Structure 1
Amino acid sequence: MTIDPELDKLYNVRAAIPDHMDIFADWERRAANFSKAVSGMLDLSYGAGERAKLDLYLTENRDAPLHVFIHGGYWQAMDKSQSSFLAKAFLDAGVNVTMLGYDLCPTVTLRELTEEIRQAFVWLWQHAGKHGYDPRKIQISGHSAGGHLVGMLLATDWSSYGLPADVNPIHSAIAISGLFDLTQLVPTSINNKLGLDMDEAKSLSPLFVEPQNICPFLLVVGGDESSGFHQQSDNLKKVWGNRFEQLDRMNAVNCHHLSVVAQLAQKESALFQWATRQLESWRIVL
């Protein structure tokens, strides 16, 4: 398919952030320092894929909540270990943390990748008793491509995965700079490794599917990001808004596509405060 230069520019994150390699290097340093200071249960397999693994960091408080983070990288780059530093603020607040890994495109299709993330969530829900976190308080978050995957988890009928039909397993959710209308990406260079046609892109887009998990949901975008990312979240809020009791939309001031996710590591940030406030106050549905 012919590349649309305007859409390609809207979603070309690295071109919009000239110092992105320096930022990634800083993430690597912060992750390495975190790994030296905090021990975790690393590379737990939840599926058959080579990268279908997760890292689990536990507090001393049994039955504390669990925050699950899904990294970005347009479904074709990055790794769970690069985001590990985001866990520290949650751990300090008494919240357990999981960093999810997944196989990347084009090794797997985006449909297969999405299914892996669903398998990961089922694994986490089923292993709550073993590892000592509260299955009634599992909060999910994701950045960029990870934000898309958060949307797809919210659109999942978990009864077809063996979870009790009367349980809403997702306590609360955060999509950071998420991608919810994948048809926008079909005529871009991002699609070179995804191989999506319009029909498949639509079927894998949260914007065009019904949410199944109704819980507090936050859509956040960096204030300095392109109009494409703002439109993605604005459109999802418009379409899904009447289905949720609480669907919040936040602009992170003076943040671009990479600095916005780092707000999860800042205890004083509005993003972190929203996340922990939900875990403290939202009702538990039995």
Structure 2
Amino acid sequence: MTEPGDVPEGATREWLDAQYDARALEPDPDATLADWQARSGAMRRDHPPQVITYGDDPRQGVDVYSPAPGHGPAPLVVFVHGGYWQALDKETFGFLAEPFLAAGAVFASLDYRLVPDVAVADVVADVRAGIAELARRAGDLGARATGLGLVGHSAGGHLVAMAMATDWADHGLPADTVGPVVGISGLYDLEPIRRSYLNDVLGMSPDDARRSSPVHHAPTGPGPLMLTCGGDEPGEFERQQRLLATAWPGVPTTILPQSGGTHFDACARLAAPGPVQEATVRMLTGA
């Protein structure tokens, strides 16, 4: 197995480009995104979220969906979207809230500024700041302020892993601010990304890629951690999650295989009954 900071032997730019072209195996990615947006629009109409901001930029915001009032503070689940740090938004993923609300959790879809307006390191800082703001406001949201459950897809998987490697004391928060974490089709070593077509926009140097790679940071959160990707995704996505599991031996980690499925399917399965939804809801909410 390759080590963090390496790429598979003989990997060319063309090979890496194909491995990380997440749209290539999706029959109609634009139609899939349009479906997600329509489903999320319906969720927003039927269950209007509270919008919380954590900065001055319009993208520094969070949509918070709350369940029916229950007894005691609810679990707080934070979803971080993908888009290779360059695209998509919190509104697209409101449709994922439903199973978490049914489990009695508060669901937050977190947005962040995008490259090339900012660097990848700034995106990491945004996600940390957004999580910190949610933790500070948890009481007002009827949620628990510690042990936040995080789930991210694609670049969002990278971002929730970086949140799991955060010194929350720098934000005036306790060490156990973040609890269980789920990474779906995540990117945990950014060196292969730096060597692919994606870096034409991301503009990372070798040092940038290393500083923003979870595999080069020690986790501060206790976990547990679950990693999964679609069974039909290119092999680099499976290698990425094995790299993180190896780099973080002290964190209780489960790698959940998926039967088939593209990069987009791997995320959408959160909204449909099945192993991914069941394992994620159970881990992040205790339901």
TM-score by length of 1: 0.92
Deviations 1:65-118 (A, max 9, x none): 011000000000011100110001111221110000101001111111110111
1:232 aligns with 2:237: no
Residue 31 of structure 1 and its aligned partner are, at CA, apart by 1.0
Map of 1:33 onto structure 2? 42
State which of 78, 93, 96 in structure 1 corresponds to 2:88: 78
Distance 1:270 1:134 in 2: 26
The equivalences for 1:70-149 within 5 A come to 70-149=80-159
The answer on whether the counterparts of 1:46 and 1:119 sit within 8 Å (CA) in structure 2 is: yes
2:37 partner amino acid: E
State which of 212, 217, 227 in structure 2 corresponds to 1:209: 217
1:262 aligns with 2:268: yes
The equivalences for 1:160-175 within 5 A come to 160-164=170-174, 167-175=175-183
Residue 277 of structure 1 and its aligned partner are, at CA, apart by 2.0
Residues 84-93 or 12-21, more deviating: 12-21
Distance 1:23 1:10 in 2: 20
Deviations 1:24-57 (A, max 9, x none): 1111111122122112113x21112220001011
Runs ≥4 in structure 1, deviation > 3 angstroms?
279-282
Map of 1:249 onto structure 2? 255
Secondary structure of 2:146's match?
strand
Unaligned segments of structure 1, at least 5 residues: none
% identical equivalent positions: 34
Distance 2:237 2:270 in 1: 18
The answer on whether the counterparts of 2:230 and 2:259 sit within 8 Å (CA) in structure 1 is: yes
Residue 172 of structure 1 and its aligned partner are, at CA, apart by 0.6
Residue 281 of structure 1 and its aligned partner are, at CA, apart by 4.5
Map of 1:154 onto structure 2? 164
2:220 partner amino acid: Q
Secondary structure of 1:193's match?
helix
Map of 1:182 onto structure 2? 190
Map of 2:16 onto structure 1? 7
Unaligned segments of structure 2, at least 5 residues: 1-11
Distance 1:149 1:93 in 2: 24
The answer on whether the counterparts of 1:137 and 1:279 sit within 8 Å (CA) in structure 2 is: no
Secondary structure of 2:24's match?
helix
Distance 1:137 1:157 in 2: 14
Aligned length: 274
Residues 8-17 or 217-226, more deviating: 8-17
2:240 partner amino acid: Q
TM-score by length of 2: 0.92
Distance 1:281 1:74 in 2: 30
Distance 1:189 1:279, change over 3 A: closer
1:154 partner amino acid: M
Secondary structure of 1:136's match?
coil
Secondary structure of 1:211's match?
coil
Distance 1:47 1:149 in 2: 18
